[in-house]
C-alpha cells in the first residue's frame, strides 16, 4: 500500500506506517481506533454470569430448529398489529416530516429540532409516551412517527437538494414556487423518495416488533415472554414468523396493496385511549422537570444533579460500549464479507455466507442482545457481541455487494492475493465510511440495550420511569440525545472522504 | 444599414459578463436589434452560454428559452414538459390539476405543436423514454409554446441530423421575429442566419453579416480543429453529431 516513494531502497521496517497515501492514512486511522478500544477494554465489565451458557445456547438452537407452531396464541393478531403500527407510524412520519423537509435548508430551528428527535431511539420515545397514553396504539404510533419525522425531514431534504437544477433553470420567469416544485423538482426526486420511504418502512417493521419489549402487544412482546419463560420452541416459531415477515416484504409492500393494509391495520390498532388534557399538560409542564428548576432554585438543581445515581459510569459505559461495538463491527465485517462475495469460495460457502449475513442483519440488535443476555448474564459482553455481529454483518453485506461489482484486473491470482491486492484496497474506504455511518446508530442502540439490564444510560432511564422519577428519566434522555448528536458530528468529521455514499438507504 | 432603423433590444458597451466574481467575457460590446437572426459560434467553453444567460436575464419575459442539454424532466410526459413553457400563465391550482388531468385548451395547443415537430402520439410518453433527437424536439416545443417574439437557444439543434436541423430552424424563424441561436454547424450559420457572432478566448472575434463571411473565417474560431487530422479534438466541436452530454439526466441523481 506504500506508494509515492522514489527511493530505490525499500522503506525501512520502522517507517512503514509513515506516508500520505490514502491507504496508509486509512490504515493508521483504523489501527488508532482499534488501539483505543484495546486500551479501554479493561474498564469494561465482560464477565460471564451464567453457569452453563453452551447448554442454554443448544436449547435455543433446538428451539429454532424445531419450532412449536401449534403452541402460538393468536400469532396473526400480533403479526397484524406489528404491520399496522409500522405502516401507520411510517405514514405519520412522512406526513410530519415532508413539510419539515421543505423548511430544512432554511431554518436552523428545524434542523436542530430534527437532530434532537432523531437522536432519541424509538423505544425511549415509547417509554416516554407510555407514561401519558398508556399501553395503547397511540404510544406505539407516536414512538415511531416522531423520530421518523426527523429522519424523513433530513433525508428528503438531502434528496430534493440533489435533484438536477437544469429543469428548474429552464422554466420561464415568473413560474410560481408551487408550480416549480411539482413540475421541476418533485418528479425528479420521486423514485428516490419512494425508495427511501420503503426502506424506512422496513426499519419501522423491526422497530414495531421491538416495541413489544416495552409491553405493547406486537410480535416482540410474545417473543420476550416466550424467551424469558424458557419456552424456546415457541420462541423459535415466533422468530421464524419474524423472518418470514421481513423476507416476504417485497411481495406485499406493493403500492396497490398499501391502502388496503392501511385500512385493515387501522381496525387492528384500536381501542384508542381517552387522553386527559390536564394530565398530559401536567406531565409536560411539571413532571418531567426537576422541581427545583421550576422553582428557580439553582442550588437545589445542583443538589438534584448530584443525587442522580451513577451518571458518570452510565455515560462512560455507554460511550465505551459504543466504541467497542464499532470496533467489533469493523472486525466482524472484515472477517465476514469475503464469505458472501463472488470472488471467493464455491457455491456452497457463498450460500452459507449469505445465509449467516441475512440472519445476523435482519435480527435487530436488541433481540440478539436479549438472547446473548440470557446466555451470558448481564454484563457488557452480550451487548458488545450483539452490536458487533449485527452491524458487522450489515456492513459485510454491503461491502460484498460492492466487491461483486468489481472486476479484478489480474486474473488468476490466488485468493489471498486477490483479497489483499485487488479487492481490499478498493472496498476498504467504503467499508470504513459505512462503519462511521453506523457509529451513530450503534451508540443509539447502546443506550437502548440498557433496558435489558446492561448498565448503560438506558438502564437508568427505564429505572427512572419505573420509579416514577420522570425528571431524572427525562434528564437522562436529554443526555443520551446530546451524546448521540456529538458522536454523529464527530463521526461525520472522521469519515473518509474517498468514498461518498449517496444512497440514503444504507444508513 | 437596415438594422439601424430597427428597434434596439439589448446593447452591451464594454461590460464584463460572468458568474459572480468569475469573468468569462471581459469588456464585451455588442448590440441586438429587433428582426435580426443571429448565429452564435465558438468553441465549447468560449462563453456562448454566459452570453445567452445574460441576454435572457435582460430580455426577461420577451424571450423564449431553449437551454443546453434540454433541461427536461425525464419522469414527466412530453405534454407536461411542453406545458411548462406557460406555467406562469395559470394559477397554482390549475397547474396542479393539470398534472392529474391535462387542461383541455393547452392539450389541444400542445398537440398541434407536437404534430408540427413530428412528436405525434408521444404526448403521454415520459421524456426519459425518448431518443436524443426526440428530446431535442420536446425542448424546442417547450420554447415555441412560450409564444414570445424572441428566441434564445443554446445549441437547440445539436442532437439532430442536418436536414432536421434546417427544418427546426425554419420553424423557429416562422414563429419568432428575432433569434439568437448558439450552434456548431458553421455552414448552417452562413446559410441560414443574417448575422454571426463569433466568440474566441473570451472576446467577440466576429460580429458581421453572414453574407460577408466565409467558412475559412469561421474556422479561425476553432483553433483545436486546426490541429492535424487524425487526433480529433476531445470536445468533438464543429461536428453535427449528438454529443454524449446532450443526452441528459439519467434517472435519479447526477
First-last CA distance in chain B = 48
In this complex, do A183 and B95 lie within 8 Å of one another by their Cβ atoms? yes
Checking if the pLDDT of A488 tops 90, the result is no
Rounded to whole angstroms, how far apart are CA atoms A216 and A78?
10
Whether B135 and chain A come into contact, CB under 8 Å, resolves to no
Q: How far apart are CA B167 and CA B176, in angstroms?
A: 15
Contacts of A161 in chain B (CB under 8 A): none
Within 8 A of B65 by CB-CB distance, chain A residues are 170, 172
Specify the pLDDT at position B233: 44
Confidence of residue B25 (pLDDT cuts 50, 70, 90): confident
The verdict on A171 touching B (C-beta cutoff 8 Å) is: yes
Instruction: Choose the closest CB to A167 out of B71, B95, B146.
Output: B71
CB-defined contacts A:B, below 8 A: 87
Q: How far is residue B60's CA from residue B57's CA, in Å, rounded to a whole number?
A: 5
Interchain CB distance below 8 Å, B253 and A192: yes
**Does A426 contact B at CB distance below 8 Å?**
no
Are the C-beta atoms of residues B7 and B31 closer than 8 Å to each other?
A: no
Cβ–Cβ contact B80 with A under 8 A:
yes
- Partner-chain contact A188 B95, CB within 8 Å: no
Cell 461590460 found at: B15
What burial letters (b/e) apply to A424-441, b meaning 16+ CB within 10 Å?
beebbbbbbbbbbbbbbb
Average pLDDT over residues A296-320: 85
β-bridge pairing B37-41 and B195-200: parallel
| Chain B residues whose beta carbon lies within 8 Å of the beta carbon of residue A163 | 253
Contact A170 B71 (CB under 8 A): yes
B105 at A interface, C-beta within 8 A: no
- B84 interfaces chain A, CB cutoff of 8 Å: yes
Per-residue pLDDT, averaged over A261-271, amounts to 82
Distance from CA of B98 to the nearest CA of A (A): 10
Nearest chain B Cα distance for residue A182, angstroms:
7
Domain that holds residue B240: 2-246
If you average pLDDT over residues A176-205, what whole number do you get? 90
Whole-angstrom Cα distance, residue A435 to residue A69? 38
pLDDT band, residue A498 (cuts 50/70/90): low
Give the 3-state DSSP-derived string for A351-413, with helices as H, strands as E and coil as C.
HHHHHHHHHHHHCCHHHHHHHHHHHHCCCHHHHHHHHHHHHHHHHHHHHHHHHHCCCCCCCCC
Could you tell me which chain B residue has the CA closest to the CA of A178?
B92
Contact across the interface for B88 and A184, Cβ inside 8 Å: no
B193 pLDDT exceeds 70? yes
User: Could you say which residues from 150 to 189 on chain B have a Cβ atom under 8 Å away from some Cβ of chain A?
Assistant: none
Question: For residues A374 and A234, what is the distance between their CA atoms, to the nearest angstrom?
Answer: 16
Q: Which of A75, A100, A138 is nearest to A269 (CA)?
A: A138
CA-nearest of B141, B105, B150, B145 to B122 is B141
In a domain, B254, yes or no: no
Please classify residue A324 by burial: count the beta carbons closer than 10 Å to its beta carbon, then call 0-12 exposed, 13-18 middle and 19+ buried.
buried
Q: Which ipTM value was assigned to this complex?
A: 0.75
pLDDT score at A141? 93
Helix (H, G, I), strand (E, B) or coil at B195: strand
Kindly state whether A183 is in contact with chain B, defined as any CB-CB distance less than 8 angstroms: yes
Residue A504's pLDDT band (cuts 50, 70, 90): low
Alpha-carbon distance B81 to B129, whole Å? 13
Chain A residue numbers touching B87 (CB-CB < 8 A): 171-172, 175-176, 179-180, 183
Does the beta carbon of A42 lie under 8 angstroms from any beta carbon of chain B?
no
Q: Check whether B225 has a pLDDT greater than 80.
A: no
Interface of A with B in 188-217 (CB under 8 A): 188, 190-192
pLDDT surpassing 70 at residue B229: no
User: For A228-282, where are the E strands, in sequence order?
Assistant: none
The answer to whether B69 faces chain A, any CB pair under 8 Å, is: yes
Whether the predicted pLDDT of B2 surpasses 50: no
With an 8 Å Cβ cutoff, are A183 and B87 in contact?
Answer: yes
Length of chain B equals: 254
Residues 484-503 of A with CB under 8 A from B: 502
Tell me the per-residue pLDDT of A111-146, one tens digit each, with 9 for 90 and over: 999 989 988 999 999 988 888 888 888 899 999 999
Best of B71, B79, B89 to mutate (most A CBs within 10 Å, chain A)? B71
Categorize the per-residue pLDDT at A10 as very low, low, confident or very high, splitting at 50, 70 and 90: low
Lowest pLDDT segment from A82-96, A266-280, A439-453, B216-230:
B216-230
Question: Closest-CA residue in chain B for A191?
Answer: B252
Asked if the Cβ–Cβ distance from B253 to A162 is below 8 Å, we say yes
- Give the chain A residue nearest B145 (alpha carbons): A172
Residue of A477 and A70 predicted with greater confidence:
A477
In a domain, B74, yes or no: yes
What pLDDT was estimated at residue A1? Answer: 42
Q: What percent of chain A has pLDDT over 70?
A: 94
The answer, yes or no, to whether residue A428 has pLDDT greater than 80, is yes
* Beta bridge mates, B40: B182, B197
User: How large is the average pLDDT for residues A43-67?
Assistant: 83
Within an 8 Å CB–CB cutoff, is residue B99 touching chain A?
yes
What CATH number is associated with residue B197? 3.40.50.300
Counting residues of chain B whose pLDDT is more than 70, the rounded percentage is 86
Q: What confidence category does residue B238 fall into, taking pLDDT thresholds of 50, 70 and 90?
A: very low
Cell numbers that stand for A247 in this block: 423476507
3-state DSSP percent of chain A in helix, strand and coil, to 5? 75, 0, 25
Calculate Rg over the CA atoms of chain B: 19
Contact B61, B205 (CB under 8 A): no
**Mean per-residue pLDDT, A55-68:** 87
Contact list, B139 vs chain A (CB under 8 Å): 170
| Residue range B140-178, pLDDT digits in tens | 999 999 888 899 988 888 888 888 888 888 888 888 888
C-alpha to C-alpha distance for B152 and A435, rounded to whole angstroms: 50
CB contact (8 A) between residue B84 and residue A184:
yes
Show residues of chain B in contact with A175, CB under 8 Å: 84, 87-88
- Between CA A237 and CA A248, with CA A243 as vertex, the angle to 5 degrees is 125
Residue A87 vs residue B19, higher pLDDT: A87
Domains of chain A: 72-275 (1.10.3720.10), 308-506 (1.10.3720.10)
Number of folded domains that form chain B: 1
Q: How much is the average pLDDT of A25-49?
A: 85
A477: Cβ contacts below 8 Å, ≥ 6 apart: A120, A124, A128, A461
Q: Is residue B114 part of a domain?
A: yes
Range of weakest confidence among A154-158, B4-8, B208-212: B4-8
- Prior bond of A198 cis (ω within 30°): no
Which chain A residue has the Cα nearest residue B249? A164
Nearest CA in chain A to B253: A163
SS3 A58: helix
Q: Is A180 in Cβ contact with B252 (below 8 Å)?
A: no
Residue B232 has pLDDT above 50, yes or no: no
Average pLDDT of chain A, as a whole number: 85
More confident residue, A184 or A495: A184
pLDDT at A327: 94
Residue A133, C-beta contacts closer than 8 angstroms, at least 6 positions apart: A139, A142, A273, A275
A172 and B CB contact within 8 Å: yes
**B3 alpha carbon, distance to own chain's centre:** 23
Q: What is the pLDDT of residue A501?
A: 58
Cβ within 8 Å, pair B75-A166? no
Question: Chain A interface, mutation test: which of B56, B253, B254, most A Cβ atoms within 10 Å?
Answer: B253
- Give the contacts of A58 (CB within 8 A, at least 6 positions apart): none
Q: Give the pLDDT of residue B5.
A: 63
pLDDT band, very low/low/confident/very high, at B250 (cuts 50, 70, 90): very low
Q: Which of A167, A176, A186 is the best residue to mutate to test the B interface, defined by the most B CB atoms within 10 Å of its own CB? A: A167
For residue B2 the three cell numbers come to 437596415
- A58 Cβ under 8 Å from any chain B Cβ: no
Q: Give the residue-averaged pLDDT of A316-332.
A: 92
Of B72, B90, B99, the CB nearest to A167: B72
The average pLDDT across A381-393 equals 92
Q: What size, in residues, is chain A?
A: 507
Q: How far off is chain A from B73, nearest CA to CA, in Å?
A: 6
Residues of B whose CB is below 8 A from A166: 67, 69-71, 248-249
- Euclidean distance between CA atoms B148 and B170, whole angstroms: 16
Residue B252 falls inside a structural domain: no
DSSP characters for A14-57?
Answer: GGTT-S--HHHHHHHHHHHHHHHHHHHGGGS------S-HHHHH
Distances (CA, A) of B165 to B52, B142, B154, B171: 20, 17, 14, 10
**Which candidate, B130, B152, B139, places its Cα nearest to that of B72?**
B139
- Which of left, alpha, beta for B14 (phi over 0: left; psi -120 to 50: alpha)? left
Cell of A365: 440488535
Average pLDDT over residues B73-89: 88
CB-based contact (8 Å) between B100 and chain A? no
SS3 content of chain B, % helix, strand, coil (to 5): 40, 25, 35
**Is the pLDDT assigned to residue B230 strictly greater than 60?**
no
- Angle (nearest 5°) at CA B106 between B103 and B109: 145
Amino acid at each position: 500500500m506504500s506508494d509515492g516513494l522514489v527511493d530505490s531502497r525499500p522503506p525501512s521496517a520502522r517507517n512503514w506506517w509513515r506516508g500520505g497515501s490514502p491507504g496508509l492514512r486509512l490504515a493508521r486511522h483504523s489501527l488508532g481506533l482499534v488501539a483505543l478500544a484495546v486500551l479501554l477494554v479493561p474498564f469494561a465489565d465482560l464477565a460471564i454470569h451464567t453457569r452453563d451458557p453452551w447448554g442454554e445456547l443448544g436449547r435455543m438452537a433446538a428451539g429454532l430448529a424445531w419450532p412449536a407452531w401449534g403452541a402460538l396464541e393468536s400469532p396473526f393478531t400480533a403479526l397484524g398489529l406489528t404491520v399496522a403500527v409500522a405502516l401507520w407510524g411510517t405514514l405519520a412520519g412522512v406526513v410530519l416530516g415532508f413539510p419539515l423537509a421543505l423548511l430544512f435548508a432554511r431554518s436552523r430551528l428545524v434542523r436542530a429540532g430534527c437532530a434532537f428527535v432523531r437522536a432519541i431511539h424509538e423505544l425511549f420515545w415509547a417509554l416516554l409516551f407510555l407514561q401519558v397514553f398508556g399501553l395503547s396504539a397511540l404510544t406505539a404510533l407516536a414512538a415511531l412517527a416522531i423520530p421518523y419525522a426527523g429522519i424523513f425531514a433530513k433525508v428528503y431534504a438531502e434528496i430534493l437538494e440533489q435533484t438536477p437544477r437544469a429543469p428548474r433553470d429552464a422554466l420561464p420567469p415568473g413560474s410560481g414556487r408551487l408550480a416549480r416544485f411539482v413540475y421541476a423538482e418533485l418528479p425528479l426526486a420521486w423514485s428516490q423518495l419512494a425508495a427511501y420511504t420503503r426502506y424506512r418502512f422496513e426499519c419501522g417493521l423491526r422497530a414495531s416488533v421491538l416495541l413489544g419489549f416495552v409491553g405493547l402487544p406486537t410480535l416482540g412482546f410474545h417473543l420476550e415472554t416466550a424467551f424469558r419463560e424458557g419456552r424456546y420452541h415457541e420462541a423459535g416459531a415466533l422468530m421464524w414468523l419474524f423472518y418470514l415477515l421481513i423476507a416476504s416484504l417485497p411481495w406485499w409492500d406493493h403500492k396497490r396493496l398499501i391502502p388496503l393494509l392501511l385500512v385493515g391495520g387501522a381496525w387492528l390498532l384500536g381501542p384508542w385511549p381517552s387522553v386527559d388534557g390536564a394530565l398530559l399538560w401536567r406531565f409536560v409542564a411539571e413532571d418531567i422537570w426537576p422541581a427545583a428548576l421550576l422553582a428557580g432554585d439553582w442550588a437545589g438543581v445542583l443538589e438534584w444533579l448530584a443525587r442522580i445515581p451513577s451518571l458518570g459510569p452510565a455515560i462512560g459505559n455507554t460511550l465505551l460500549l459504543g466504541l467497542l461495538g464499532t470496533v467489533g463491527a469493523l472486525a466482524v465485517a472484515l472477517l465476514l464479507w469475503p464469505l458472501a462475495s463472488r470472488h471467493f469460495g464455491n457455491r456452497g460457502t457463498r450460500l452459507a455466507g449469505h445465509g449467516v449475513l441475512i440472519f445476523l442483519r435482519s435480527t435487530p440488535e436488541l433481540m440478539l442482545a436479549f438472547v446473548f443476555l440470557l446466555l451470558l448474564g448481564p454484563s457488557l459482553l452480550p451487548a458488545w457481541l450483539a452490536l458487533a455481529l449485527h452491524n458487522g454483518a450489515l456492513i459485510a453485506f454491503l461491502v460484498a455487494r460492492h466487491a461483486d461489482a468489481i472486476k479484478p484486473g489480474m486474473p488468476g491470482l490466488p485468493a489471498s492475493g486477490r483479497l489483499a491486492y485487488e479487492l481490499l484496497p478498493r472496498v476498504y474506504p467504503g467499508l470504513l465510511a459505512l462503519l462511521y455511518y453506523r457509529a451513530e446508530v450503534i451508540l443509539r442502540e447502546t443506550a437502548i440495550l440498557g433496558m435489558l439490564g446492561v448498565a448503560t444510560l438506558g438502564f437508568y432511564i427505564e429505572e427512572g420511569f419505573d420509579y416514577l422519577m420522570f425528571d431524572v428519566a427525562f434528564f437522562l434522555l436529554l443526555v443520551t440525545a446530546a451524546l448521540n448528536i456529538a458522536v454523529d458530528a464527530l463521526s461525520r468529521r472522521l469519515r473518509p472522504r474517498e468514498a461518498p455514499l449517496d444512497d440514503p438507504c444504507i444508513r | 444599414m437596415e438594422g439601424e432603423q430597427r428597434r434596439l433590444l439589448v446593447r452591451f458597451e464594454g461590460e464584463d459578463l460572468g458568474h459572480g466574481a468569475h469573468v468569462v467575457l471581459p469588456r464585451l460590446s455588442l448590440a441586438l436589434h429587433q428582426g435580426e437572426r443571429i448565429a452564435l459560434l465558438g468553441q465549447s467553453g468560449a462563453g456562448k452560454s454566459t452570453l445567452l444567460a445574460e441576454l435572457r436575464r435582460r430580455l426577461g419575459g420577451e424571450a423564449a428559452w431553449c437551454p443546453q442539454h434540454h433541461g427536461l424532466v425525464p419522469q414527466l410526459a412530453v405534454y407536461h414538459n411542453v406545458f411548462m413553457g406557460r406555467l406562469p400563465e395559470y394559477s397554482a391550482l390549475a397547474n396542479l390539476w393539470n398534472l392529474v388531468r391535462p387542461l383541455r385548451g393547452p392539450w389541444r395547443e400542445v398537440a398541434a405543436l407536437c404534430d408540427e415537430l413530428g412528436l405525434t402520439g408521444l404526448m403521454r410518453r415520459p421524456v426519459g423514454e425518448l431518443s436524443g433527437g426526440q428530446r431535442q424536439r420536446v425542448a424546442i416545443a417547450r420554447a415555441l409554446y412560450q409564444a414570445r417574439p424572441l428566441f434564445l437557444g443554446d445549441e437547440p439543434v445539436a442532437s439532430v441530423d442536418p436536414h432536421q436541423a434546417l427544418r427546426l430552424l425554419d420553424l423557429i424563424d416562422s414563429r419568432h421575429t428575432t433569434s439568437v441561436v448558439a450552434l456548431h454547424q458553421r455552414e448552417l450559420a452562413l446559410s441560414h442566419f443574417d448575422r454571426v457572432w463569433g466568440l474566441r478566448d473570451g472576446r467577440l472575434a466576429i460580429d458581421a453579416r453572414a453574407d460577408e463571411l466565409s467558412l475559412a473565417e469561421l474556422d479561425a474560431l476553432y483553433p483545436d480543429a486546426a490541429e492535424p487530422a487524425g487526433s480529433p479534438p476531445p470536445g468533438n466541436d464543429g461536428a453535427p453529431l449528438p454529443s454524449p452530454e446532450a443526452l441528459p439526466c439519467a434517472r435519479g441523481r447526477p
